[in-house]
Chain A
Amino acid sequence: MSLENEIAVYARELPKLIPQSGRFVLIHGDEVVDTFPDYKAALRAGYEKFGLEPFLVKMIQAVEQVHCFTRDLSPCRI
């Protein structure tokens, strides 16, 4: 299970979303559903609308913040 489609939609729609930087966008399939003031609100809306189907919640950022780890890690999918 991956969110490749939703990630591509985010990248495509980012120029339009930038005025809402700092808010969280909810994307399901090819659809930008809405934006929300915080992570939990977006997640709640995603589960309410789409149940256990995949969806993406992502903070809108003009320049994407990179998360840093001093330990060498290999992220994986479950």
Chain B
Amino acid sequence: MPHLTNRLTRGSPLITLYVGISDERRIAFTKAGRTPPEMRECLALIDTGASDTCIDPAILKPLELTPTGHALIHTPSTAGQPHSCDFYDVSLGIYHPKDSMILLTVPVIAVDLGSQGITALIGRNVLASCLFIFDGASDSFTLAF
């Protein structure tokens, strides 16, 4: 199982994540005679408290996405009243020198993360196919996929 072990950044497990349009949308772009947008690089926090992966609109906007999903979400401030939220289908990649992880179709939410110094949260919908070890004692984390 390929894995990456990195140092924590101020106590946080941060990793470079590549975001592009989904495989299905790429085919639609090509059929429409349009050039599919290129993948974008973002700084992602691995967040086991997030049920889904979230991406900043600054990353998503150049991908020319339209929403293809919808769900209700709870956060600490929704106070028991779930909020309505759009989902977008994207592809995600994490670089590994021998065997990079590429997920061709993943639903994500657009969330303004700029003020938090990151541009993505990797949630449990992606972690479901990974092994994640947070080793605070050695100031490191490991992500295997």
Contacts and interface: CB of A to CB of B under 8 A. Distances in A.
Given A56-B68, A68-B51, A75-B110, A43 B61 contact: no
Interface string A32-50: 0000000110011011100
Contacts of A48: 27-28
18 contacts: A1-B66, A6-B70, A40-B105, A51-B28, A54-B66, A56-B68, A58-B69, A58-B70, A66-B72, A66-B73, A66-B74, A67-B73, A71-B76, A72-B77, A75-B83, A75-B85, A78-B61, A78-B110
Interface residues of B, number: 46
B52 A67 contact: yes
Contacts of A58: 69-70
Contacts of B20: none
B40 interface: no
Interface of A: 1-3, 6-7, 10, 39-40, 43-44, 46-48, 51-52, 54-58, 64-78
Nearest to A50: B28
Nearest to B72: A66
A71 B82 CA distance: 14
Contacts of B77: 72
A66 B82 contact: yes
Contact of B22 (A7, A43, A70): A43
A57 to B, nearest CB: 5
B73 A69 contact: yes
